[in-house]
Structure 1
């Protein structure tokens, strides 16, 4: 019985880690103006701009968004994101479905929200 419980817990932990890793990688924003690398950064997850289309205002390569998010069900992550360049904290929901990702950030108690589509790149 103890072996079964240990095996089940190990399998569950491996599934959780694999599920959580789905968000990590290189992503291109749907409007074609940015590419980011999403990776662990300490206990959080960071999205760092790796390329910005020339002439895109208020964004630059190297800008980082620090996300304190937890995986839920069906590829949905939720929590908060801090943008140090703008000194803003957002309520954040990220949905990953294979090579597609949608981010939705809200400020002002959830009254102002914006969603962005992303595609995984190799």
Structure 2
């Protein structure tokens, strides 16, 4: 009994800083892309975080409502998460950084080992 209690405590102490940092940098919510062309919901999905298109204005680039990115993110600081994003529709994985503020979100997606990157700015939907 003593060993399992210590094991549980060790696990909790190991996970606590990550959980606290992730809590401080929580991108959950509904966000509007800065160009006004997308409304996206970011929410937990299993062990990951998913960004799901709720609305797309211009579908000419192949984006549609219901498209989803599955993100595997780790806290890098109190306001920044970093990891990968899997685009289910295109079967592609990108590296991604998500910077969270109270009134803004900035996502930076990269391909080709970080050679080609794009920042997208978001504001909360109200």
TM-score, structure 1 normalization: 0.83
With over 3 angstroms needed to count, the CA separation of the structure-2 counterparts of 1:77 and 1:54, relative to structure 1, is same
1:16 Cα shift? 4.2
CA–CA distance in structure 1, aligned partners of residues 121 and 95 of structure 2: 17
Alignment of 1:3-82 (within 5 A): 15-16=20-21, 18-20=23-25, 22-82=26-86
Higher helix share: 2
How many residues align? The count is: 113
Unaligned runs of 5+ in 2: 1-8
Q: Is the 8 A contact 1:19 1:71 kept in 2?
A: no
1:67 Cα shift? 0.3
TM-score, structure 2 normalization: 0.80
1:17 Cα shift? 5.7
Q: Is the 8 A contact 1:95 1:102 kept in 2?
A: yes
Residue 121 in structure 1 maps to residue 119 in structure 2: no
